[in-house]
């Protein structure tokens, strides 16, 4: 579980981005961070593992304050896959192996190699294993970066727009796999995502950011026409289609 208490973040001294953010995200579930452009979604997720240092507040993972942990220890608890990540000039296998860096002392062990092979198979990228990452498509790179994060065997998995470069089929395939991983591995998954309907289909909890603060946080009941209109300034209806709750926008 990850618990965020009174977290605030500023760029420079007077540009506040986040103001006293509070929420708890449980293990075994996926939590979506939602809000319009510029709401601070990516900033928040970077504060959770100290890529960015909050001005105040604290983040706890399984009861441990991450401010008291070194970078290597944080990497054992929290994995992060950024939007627009590039793989550099590595093979896919070596790129995923970098996820084992917090555990490697002098050289990778048989266990490290086994974990990498297992994750690559799980993500369905075995045929790419010996390809160089700078030769891959954006969608393929996205899968590799997710595989690298999973190779860390984290307690918390932070994903910033994990479906941004994926086509429709791969969006559902990747998010379904992420949800299954959350459940089977009992890890806490937090996803920054723009698509409300993908969030509704694959996430359990929904945190709306608005005006630098948490506008609402909860289960599917928090996604209402009123809350969506308030956050996105767009009239919508929310209805069940094919057994799945779906947000349908109205013409302006």
CA neighbor of 20 nearest in space, from 66, 57, 52: 57
18/1: higher pLDDT? 18
Q: Confidence class of residue 87 from pLDDT cuts 50, 70 and 90?
A: low
- Give the Cβ contact number of residue 243 at 10 Å: 5
Which position has the token pair 């996430």?
203
pLDDT in tens, 104-117: 988 999 999 999 99
For the chain, the average pLDDT equals 90
Q: Using CA atoms, how far apart are residues 108 and 216, in angstroms rounded to an integer?
A: 44
Instruction: Please list, in sequence order, all residues whose beta carbon lies within 8 angstroms of the beta carbon of residue 63, skipping any fewer than 6 positions away.
Output: none
Classify domain 2-220 at the CATH superfamily level: P-loop containing nucleotide triphosphate hydrolases (3.40.50.300)
Domain boundaries, the chain: 2-220
Distance CA 222, CA 135 (A): 42
DSSP character at residue 38:
T
The structure's pTM equals: 0.90
């Amino acid at each position: 579980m990850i618990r965020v208490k009174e977290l605030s973040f500023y760029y420079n001294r007077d540009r506040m981005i986040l103001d006293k953010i509070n929420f708890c995200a449980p293990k075994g579930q996926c939590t979506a961070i939602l809000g319009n452009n510029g709401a601070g979604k990516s900033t928040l997720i970077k504060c959770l593992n100290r890529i960015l240092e909050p001005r105040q507040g604290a983040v706890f993972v399984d009861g441990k304050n991450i401010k008291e942990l070194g970078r290597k220890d944080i990497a054992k608890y929290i994995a992060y896959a950024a939007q627009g990540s590039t793989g550099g000039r590595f093979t896919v296998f070596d790129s995923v192996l970098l996820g084992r860096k917090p555990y490697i002392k002098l050289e990778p062990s048989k266990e490290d190699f086994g974990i990498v092979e297992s994750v690559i198979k799980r993500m369905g990228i075995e045929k790419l294993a010996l390809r160089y990452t700078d030769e891959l498509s954006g969608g393929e790179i996205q899968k590799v970066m997710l595989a690298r994060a999973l190779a860390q065997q984290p307690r918390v998995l932070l994903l910033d727009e994990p479906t941004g470069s994926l086509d429709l089929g791969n969006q559902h395939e990747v998010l379904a796999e992420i949800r299954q991983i959350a459940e089977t591995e009992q890890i806490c998954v937090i996803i920054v995502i723009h698509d409300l309907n993908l969030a509704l289909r694959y996430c359990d909890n929904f945190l709306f950011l608005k005006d630098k603060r948490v506008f609402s946080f909860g289960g599917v009941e928090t996604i209402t026409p009123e809350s969506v209109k308030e956050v996105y300034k767009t009239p919508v209806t929310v209805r069940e289609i094919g057994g799945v709750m779906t947000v349908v926008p109205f013409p302006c």
